[in-house]
Amino acid sequence: MSDNNKPTKKPNTASNSINIAKKGAAKNTPKKSASGKVIKPLRRASTAAAGNKTSSNKSSKTTASKESAKNRSNKLSSRIKKNETQGAYTSNKNRKNKKIIFNKASGASTRGGFESDKNRFRTIWGISLVILGLLIGRAFYLQVANAKFYQDKGDELITSVRTQKSYRGMITDRNQLPLAVSAPLSSVTFSPHDYAREYYEIKRIKVTNPEQPQLQARMQKRLEDMDLTRLAAAANMPVTELQKATAIDDNVDVTDAEAVKAALPSGAGSHYLPLLNKVTPEIAQSVSALDFPGVSEKNFFQRYYPQPQPNSQLLGFMGQNANDPDGGYEGRAGIERQYEKVLAGKDGKVLILKDAKQNSLKEIKQIEPEVVGQNVALTIDSRLQYLLYKELEKVGRLHEALWSTGLIVDVQTGEVLALSTWPSFNSNNLNEMTGENQRNRALLDVFEPGSVMKPFTVAAALDSGKYTANSLIDTNPGSIRVKGYTIRDHENYGTINMATLLQKSSNVASTKIALSLPPDAITNIQKKFGFGAKTPLQFPGEGSGSVVTPKEKETARRATVSYGYGLQVTLAQVAQAYSALAAGGVMHPLTLIKSDKAPSSQRIMEHEQAMSIVQMLESVTAPGGTAVAAAIDGYRVAGKTGTSRRVSPEGGYYEDQYRNIFAGIAPASNPRLVGVILVEDPRGQYYAGLTAAPVFHNVMKEALRLYNVPLDKPLQTK
């Protein structure tokens, strides 16, 4: 037993004797060379070796052996408890409920160590496979699934897409004279911030490279080219303004990035200083050709109207497109809006290469080709258009009218030769535009037409077969009572025929015709002639009006419809209907667009009946008629006046406000042109024969001359 395993109690004398005997025996044993660790045998000493001992020594030996065994048992028990506490004991029994991965290293059990390493191996490989899978998935996402996105992101850093504005098509009149054109313009701007940054960068290169004379010379040349005096002279502006904007400080330490950043211009105008605004490209070239740092040029097209006031409501105007990121313009009213897609074309797109400062270096390729807008040729004659507008302005100012409007139509084709409204605005300066003067009243406004509808009442009478052109109607005593209402003429005309009905504009005769026909007879004819529906012009915002067929018991309504009350029409519908009469009962749809292919026509009335009504209407401009002022020397003129009360918003009609209309046909023997004039609420004179008829006379006389229409009546001699 070794010294470390000695018992705490002191051994007796017998034990010492035994030990001495053993030491003596050891000394007598011959010596051996050491060949490794020598381990003492763990067996007890035999009784024969101690045969010469006394019985008392045997008793002492037995007692010592028992105490020694007890000590060994106690020490083994304490060692087991200590190993359990420190984790050194690794039997399977004690490892059941413990986590293998996080256990401390086992000391003795070979089986426990193998299982622990195997589980660690599996865990590490599992984690490695998960990480590898994530890396592969991420690589697939970046390089395959979402590769286009990141390619585009990369391209954005060095390329950009520039829009090539397409040229907007012109709007011309029937003779190819421009009514709306797009003029190329340029705006040149200057960035003091970019200029100063470039200036300080060149100075820095000079300071940091004193040993390179060639580089120094190049940088000095660039500084000389950046002289603000050159830019000021080309832009025709004071050089002091440019110097103040750039605020160059030659005392700045150009090698100190923070100092340079603090010296750069900032605030309003530091990145945008207009040099030239909306000038021709030739003028802008004088500045952009300098290749000056911070100078940029923007090219665009601006719409220009050579004849603005006469055409403003017809052509419309341009307005900014809220959906265009480049701030482009689009048609917002009139022809510009109606034919926006045709006129605008399609912008092109070009891919350009940029430098680090986002400056364009070169065009790489055409992404989308530019499609130039098409021209739109109108049926309008700009000469006649100007003349019509000046006459409308004249009558409007002379009679202090709210507004005046009119149309001239080619009877043979349905083409609108002139269409204008006063007051107007300058479509080149939209600051003059208001909600009132931008309305194309001939197409948008609806109203009760009054007596200009009486020719269609006569047409219904002839179409019914109950009446002929020579039929007589008794209007005595100049009034008629219908459902509690009294309908009157200006005087008692007695018994009259159809021509006199139109010449004197008899309400009583019209009422008697209407009440003698079926309830829908008048309105059916009115609808045939295009009333109650939009014209084929399909102008943006065009009114359709309304024609409501009265019932059998609605006697008063049947009467009022016959002389132009109780229905809503537009002036364009009146012009279309009179053109159909003048064409011998053939409806030629109205058109504003010049085309080689004539639109399809439709017969709505017998030729003889239609021309007989035109002949009746000649009496209106003859002596004794209501529109003598519409007569034109050398031509037979047919027409009809209409003077109606204006509707009050509070209900009923105004007592002192009227609407004057005149619709005329010339020449009556072989109709070629129809003119319709409306004057709203004139002051002083309120009869159409004194306000609207003279306008027709002045305009139609020049129109017949312009189109070389032969005379059909002897000229009067003074």
Give the contacts of 168 (CB within 8 A, at least 6 positions apart): 182, 301, 303, 343, 344, 345, 373
Give the contacts of 477 (CB within 8 A, at least 6 positions apart): 492
Q: Which of 312, 424, 451, 505 is catalytic?
A: 451
Structure tokens at 526: 């009115």
- Distance separating alpha carbons of residues 604 and 601, to the nearest angstrom: 10
- Distance separating alpha carbons of residues 327 and 300, to the nearest angstrom: 11
DSSP notation for 648-704: PTTSSEEEEEEEEEEEEEESSSS--EEEEEEEES-SS---HHHHHHHHHHHHHHHHH
Cis-peptide, bond into residue 423, ω within 30° of zero: yes
**Is residue 713 helix, strand or coil?**
coil
Tell how strand 159-164 and strand 348-354 pair up: antiparallel
Q: Is residue 443 within 8 Å of residue 542, measured between CB atoms?
A: yes
- Distance separating alpha carbons of residues 277 and 245, to the nearest angstrom: 18
Count of positions (residues) in the chain: 718
**Is residue 255 helix, strand or coil?**
coil
Other CB atoms within 10 A of residue 9 CB: 9
Terminus-to-terminus CA distance in the chain, angstroms?
A: 169
Give the contacts of 502 (CB within 8 A, at least 6 positions apart): 454, 455, 458, 613, 616, 617, 619, 620, 640
Which amino acid is located at 520 in the chain? D
Which amino acid is located at 165 in the chain? K
SS3 per residue for 596-619: CCCCCCEECCCHHHHHHHHHHHHH
- Distance separating alpha carbons of residues 578 and 447, to the nearest angstrom: 17
Which amino acid is located at 40 in the chain? K
- Distance separating alpha carbons of residues 644 and 452, to the nearest angstrom: 10
CA torsion sign for 572, 578, 583, 584 is positive
Give the contacts of 445 (CB within 8 A, at least 6 positions apart): 439, 543, 570, 571
Per the annotation, the verdict on 451 as an active-site residue is yes
Residues annotated as part of the active site? 451
